[in-house]
Every structure is written in C-alpha cells, then in structure tokens.
C-alpha cells in the first residue's frame, strides 16, 4: 500500500483571504507591537516574503530524547514544514510535553490534561492560523486533540505510526503483550535469563509507537476514524517512507484547511464519535479509549457515555486480528490494507457523509480501499469475536460503571464468583502477591484499590494484576482481577478496570474485605459484591477518606479538578466553562 498524492488533491474552497487570518493581528497591522513581531521574525533569519500574508502553521511536536515512540519526529517535523512551505504557509515548530509512556512516572495519564492544556494555550497565545499535531505514544493523541478541539483552529493530526515487528528466534514479538507473556514464562521457570535478554534486544527495533493494538494504535486509529488525519495515515509504520510523505502532505493540507476555515468543530460531530467507537470496537482496541473518547467528546459538546460503548459493543464484531485480541501486528495490518481496509468492511455501520480534514467526506476517503489478507482483517462473516471487545459493567461494586476487554479474557472466567483477595495500593500488591503464604487459589478474585485517578494518583496501568507465582507454577495463566486502575492496551486477561467511583473517592471498592464473595457476570453486565447492605453501611460509616497525595503543585491541581473515569478524567474547568477570549495584542 502506498500513499497517493493525486488521490488526495481537493479543490480548495477558499473562504478566507490573507487579511482574515488570525495571524494578521500580529503581523499585518501597522503599529508598534507588530513592528516587534516582524523584526523578531527577521531576527530568526526569515525575510518578509517568507511570512507576509501567509497562514502561520504551528507544528506541535511531542519529540523528546526520552520518548522512543517519537524518535523520528525531529525529522518528520522538517517534512511537515516542507509541505507547509510548498503550499504557501509559514511553519513554526513548538515543542510540547512528550508524555513518554515507558519512562514518565507515576503515569502519563497524570499528565494527559497537562499536555491538553499546554496545547490549548500554545495555540491561543501564539500567532497561529492552523496546526499540525504530532503525537502517537498513548496519551499524546487524546491530549493534543483535546487542546485543539477547545481552541478550534484548523488542525490536522500526524500519527507517529507503529514500530516494526519485534523478532526473537524466528518468532514475532509484540510490544507489551509479549513482555507480559514471557515475563510470566520466566517467573514460571519456562525461559532462561539469556532468552529473556534476547527478547529485550529484539522487541523494539525501530522508532514508532507500540505495534500491538495498544492504546497508541487504538487512539491514532480513532483519530483517523474521527476524520482528523489524512486517509490511511494511522496505519503507516513509522519507519516506512510513506510515513514521511504523509507528514509533508499533512503540512500541505493544513494550509488549505486554513483558507477553507475547516475546524475541528466542523469535523467532530456525533457521527464522527460513533464511528470512532465502532472502529475501536472492531479493532479490539484498548480500554483506555473509553476514557479518552469520552473526554474528547465532552470537549466537542457531544454526549458520549459509557453506555453508548456497551450498546455499540453488542453489535460491532472484532475484525482486526491483532494482538492482544488476535495474532498479528500493526505492520501486518498495514500490508493487509490498513484502517481503510477495515473501514470498507464496516462500511454499512459508518457515517460516510460527514466531513474530514482531507476536504472530502469520510466515504470518499474510504472509497476504493481493499483488503489484501483476510486472515488479518477478517470479514463480517468470519470475525475474531462476534461482539465488540469491550463491555461496561455495573452493580453495587461499580455504581458508575467499569469496563472489561472480554475479547482478551479467558471465556471460562466471564461468569465467575470467588473470594476477594484485597491489596491496598500497588506497594502492598508488590510486597504480598508472590508471598507463598498468601491465601489464594485460581478461584480467588484479586482486588487492587487505591489505583484510580485520585488514589494512585493518575490512574496508572496497574489493572493487569500479576498472577501469584505459586499459581503460575501450577499452570494458572488467568484469574478475575478488579481495580480502579487502567490497563495497558497491550495487556490481556480477565481484568475489570476503571471501577467508578474509585476507592479513594469513597466508592464501594473501598469497602471490600479479603474473603468477601465477588460475582462477575459479563453476559449480564454485572459486577456485585455479595455482602448484605447493612454490613456495607457499617463499613461505609467507619471508612475514612485517605489523605491527599500531593500538598502542592500540578499534582494538587490534578487532585482537585480531575473527574472520575466514567467522565473521562478531564479537569472540570477544562471540560466546561465559557469560551476564553482571544488574547489582546498590546
Ligand atoms: Fe509509546 Fe507504547 S510506549 S506507544
């Protein structure tokens, strides 16, 4: 599959002239301030001809030396600039927080709203007419889009693209999924230290985000389904030369979008969000998408709820045969036809008439797409799972809901009742879970609390609780696990996640005791703590709220303003409120 420039050429419907540009207020008027803006632009080596009357295009680049998923973004930003220059724009690159999933602690989720706020304010405070958003590593995609949605300047998203397949001794390795798998094999004594080191050398071979259907692939695909990328952009591997060409095309296209005045609010309709949910479900995508899409939809004024995910999940089959729900990786998906191939299969369920950043409708973007390998992108008649991969559960243990990726769970456990083994926070889990004296067997339900948005804090991806070593040695590879945490999209198992309200906020998870019977019933969407209400009331009365984790700084702000998982974990003051006025230029 290649990227065909001709195919994307559209007639630019110019609604705006140079004088209408937002940047004209900085550059075009004749006063003391604009003299400063022009002379300072010249200080950087640009001539008047470089910027006069041209749309100023911000390139928000989440490159950093410590984000391997964005290692190619320095070069890609130059390729975006090439496109902007070619189309008659003036590119300016603005660095932003990189949200490096493997390195940033306690969790990049703590900082998603930080990048969203940074994006919004970068756009607002600079003389920008349009923006290219460069992201891909997990939270960067929703964060950049959330900020751009609120600021509502013409915006196009350049996804980082997946890294190449991992390899080890002739086998294919997938990010995350195979780390957990072989870590369990190592703990069970099945593979050696040397083999484990070989896996370390072979699992991440190129720039790009995780190449399983983790949060990164899920959210970049969702961005494309929303209509915020050029057609086919999200599936191109980072190392493929098509990726560089897609970057420069995006630069060219955003200049046209400025003259067309095509903004996120024109693209991100209710139909667009429904199509993003359909796509996530058909991909067997990450549970994290639930939180992020709800947060993004709220910014767009679209009422997307947990229940909408569940409703759609009952009719959308999983078609993408990608790990952890399936067997292939994103590189295979690209060669098999990529996301446009999946869209062709889902065509009847999609809203094809809506606008996208390409300047064409979603249906026009998809037209002509083909599937080249049916085993990678399955047909509707031969799905991986007949239902979508996500289920939303409720019950007295999760009154505001929780989610499970049942396509990645052991089917035998989807209806299960067992005694709880409770861990208060990750430190206690790490200390006790492998203790040979821990009273646990394969019927137990492992419960982790204090791991939610406020409790952890930042809702880390601790939701795939480790199986106790003594059970691993007996051959146990899955158990029911429940938490108020999130789970990596590359993880798997019978893990109930995002329990809301979280325990730190006084949710019922705070009341569970070791030995209590917990019942999971995915077919009926229930999660119940089988303890009578009078006893729960006694425990509730005795419960004391934990002390705040942060006394100052960004963490304290997060604790005061982050909403619960079912509401998208956005800051209350970012999700709502009156429009912020344009800055005065004095
Ligand atoms: Fe960046 Fe997985 S670590 S996407």
In 3D, which of 549, 467, 566, 571 has the Cα closest to residue 504? Answer: 549
Helix (H) or strand (E) holding 342: helix 338-346
Q: Does the CA dihedral 28-33-38-41 come out positive or negative?
A: negative
**Mean pLDDT, consecutive 10-residue segments, the chain of 586 residues?**
47 72 93 95 96 96 98 98 98 98 94 98 98 98 98 98 96 89 88 94 96 96 98 98 98 97 98 98 95 98 96 95 92 98 97 98 97 98 89 97 91 97 96 96 97 92 94 94 91 93 96 98 97 97 91 95 97 92 88
Q: Which atom of ligand 1 is nearest to the CA of 101?
A: 3
CA atoms within 13 A on the CB side of 243: 26
Q: Is the CB of 209 under 6 A from ligand 1?
A: yes
How far is the centre of ligand 1, averaged over its atoms, from the C-alpha of 163 (Å)? 9
Instruction: Find the 98 Cα to ligand 1 centroid distance in Å.
Output: 11
> 114: CA distance to ligand 1 center in Å?
18
Across-strand partners of 497? 403
| Ligand 1 pocket residue status of 163, Cβ below 6 Å | no
pLDDT of residue 13: 65
Ligand 1 centroid distance, CA of 12 (Å): 36
Domain boundaries, the chain: 5-164+206-366, 167-201, 391-542
Ligand 1 atom 2, closest CA: 210
Give the span between the Cα atoms of 77 and 529, in whole angstroms: 52
Atom of ligand 1 at shortest range from CA of 209: 4
Q: Judge contact between 151 and 133, C-beta under 8 A.
A: no
Name the closest-CA residue to atom 1, ligand 1.
137
Q: Which atom of ligand 1 is nearest to the CA of 136?
A: 4
Tell whether the torsion through CA atoms of 285, 291, 294 and 296 is positive or negative. negative
Q: Give 415's DSSP letter.
A: E
Tell me if the bond preceding 109 is cis, omega within 30° of 0.
Answer: no
User: Would you call 2 exposed, middle or buried from its count of C-beta atoms within 10 A (0-12, 13-18, 19+)?
Assistant: exposed
Ligand 1 atom with the smallest distance to the CA of 67 is 1
Specify the DSSP element, H or E, that contains 288: helix 288-300
d(Cα 500, Cα 305) in Å, to the nearest integer?
13
Pick the CATH number of 391-542 from 3.30.465.10, 3.10.180.10, 3.20.20.10, 3.50.30.80: 3.50.30.80
Strand partners for 172 = 167
d(CA 207, ligand 1 centre) in Å: 10
Q: Is the CB of 160 under 6 A from ligand 1?
A: no
69 lines ligand 1 (CB under 6 A): yes
Query: Does 210 contact ligand 1 (Cβ within 6 A)?
Result: yes
Distance 490 CA to ligand 1 centre (A): 10
Candidate of 62, 135, 137, 212 to mutate for ligand 1, largest count of ligand atoms within 8 Å of Cβ: 137
Residue 349: phi and psi, rounded to 5, are -100, 0
Residue 491 · residue 324 · CB < 8 Å: yes
d(CA 176, CA 212): 8
- Residue to probe by mutation, ligand 1, list 64, 67, 69, most atoms within 8 Å of CB: 69
Burial degree of 459 (CB within 10 A; 0-12, 13-18, 19+): buried
Q: Please give the full DSSP string across 344-413, using - where no structure is assigned.
A: HHHGGGS-TTSB-TTSSBHHHHHTT---S-TTTB--TTS-SBSS-SEEEEEETTEEEEEEEEGGGS-GGG
């Amino acid at each position: 599959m290649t990227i065909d420039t001709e195919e994307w050429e559209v007639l630019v419907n110019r609604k705006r002239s140079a004088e209408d540009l937002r940047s004209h207020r900085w550059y075009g008027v004749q006063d003391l301030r604009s003299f400063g803006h022009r002379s300072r632009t010249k200080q950087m080596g640009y001539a008047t001809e470089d910027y006069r009357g041209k749309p100023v295009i911000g390139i928000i680049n989440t490159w950093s030396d410590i984000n391997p998923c964005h290692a190619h973004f320095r070069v890609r930003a130059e390729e975006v600039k090439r496109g902007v220059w070619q189309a008659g724009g003036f590119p300016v690159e603005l660095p932003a927080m990189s949200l490096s999933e493997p390195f940033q602690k306690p969790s990049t989720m703590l900082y998603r709203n930080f990048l969203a706020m940074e994006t919004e304010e970068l756009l607002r405070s600079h003389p920008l007419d349009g923006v290219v958003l460069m992201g891909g590593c997990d939270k960067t995609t929703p964060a950049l889009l959330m900020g751009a949605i609120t600021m509502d300047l013409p915006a196009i998203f350049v996804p980082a693209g997946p890294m190449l397949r991992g390899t080890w001794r002739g086998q294919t390795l997938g990010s995350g999924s195979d780390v957990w798998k072989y870590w369990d094999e190592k703990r069970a004594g099945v593979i050696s230290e040397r083999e484990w080191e070989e896996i370390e050398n072979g699992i991440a071979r190129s720039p790009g985000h995780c190449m399983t259907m983790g949060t990164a692939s899920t959210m970049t695909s969702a961005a494309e389904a929303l209509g915020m990328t050029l057609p086919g952009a999200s599936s191109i591997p980072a190392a493929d030369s098509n990726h560089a060409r897609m970057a420069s095309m995006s630069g060219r296209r955003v200049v046209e979008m400025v003259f067309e005045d095509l903004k996120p609010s024109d693209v991100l309709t209710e139909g667009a969000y429904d199509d993003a949910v359909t796509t996530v479900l058909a991909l067997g995508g990450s549970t994290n998408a639930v939180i992020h899409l709800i947060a993004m939809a709220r910014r767009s004024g679209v009422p997307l709820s947990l229940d909408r995910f569940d409703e759609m999940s009952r009719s959308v089959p999983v078609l993408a045969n990608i790990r952890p729900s399936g067997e292939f990786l994103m590189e295979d998906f690209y060669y098999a036809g990529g996301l446009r191939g999946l869209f062709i299969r889902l065509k009847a369920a999609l809203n094809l008439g809506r606008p996208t950043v390409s300047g064409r409708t979603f249906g026009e973007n998809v037209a002509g797409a083909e599937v080249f390998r049916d085993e990678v992108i399955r047909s509707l008649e031969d799905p991986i799972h007949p239902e979508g991969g996500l289920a939303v559960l409720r019950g007295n243990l999760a009154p505001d809901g929780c989610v499970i990726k049942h396509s990645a769970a052991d089917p035998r456990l989807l209806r299960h009742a067992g005694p709880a083994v409770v861990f208060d926070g990750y430190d206690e889990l790490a200390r006790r879970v492998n203790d040979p004296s821990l009273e646990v067997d394969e019927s137990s339900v492992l419960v982790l609390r204090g791991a939610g948005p406020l409790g952890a804090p930042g809702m880390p991806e601790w939701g795939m609780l480790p199986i106790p070593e003594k059970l691993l040695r007996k051959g146990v590879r899955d158990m029911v696990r429940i938490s108020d945490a999130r789970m990596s999209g590359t993880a798997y198992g019978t893990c109930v996640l995002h329990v809301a309200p979280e325990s730190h906020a006084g949710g019922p998870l705070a009341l569970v005791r070791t030995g209590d019977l917990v019942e999971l019933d995915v077919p009926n969407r229930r999660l119940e703590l089988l303890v009578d209400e009078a006893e729960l009331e006694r425990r509730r009365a005795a419960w004391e709220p934990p002390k705040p984790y942060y006394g100052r700084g960004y963490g304290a702000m997060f604790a005061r303003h982050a909403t619960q998982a079912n509401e998208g974990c956005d800051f209350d003051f970012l999700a709502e409120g009156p429009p912020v006025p344009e800055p005065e230029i004095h």
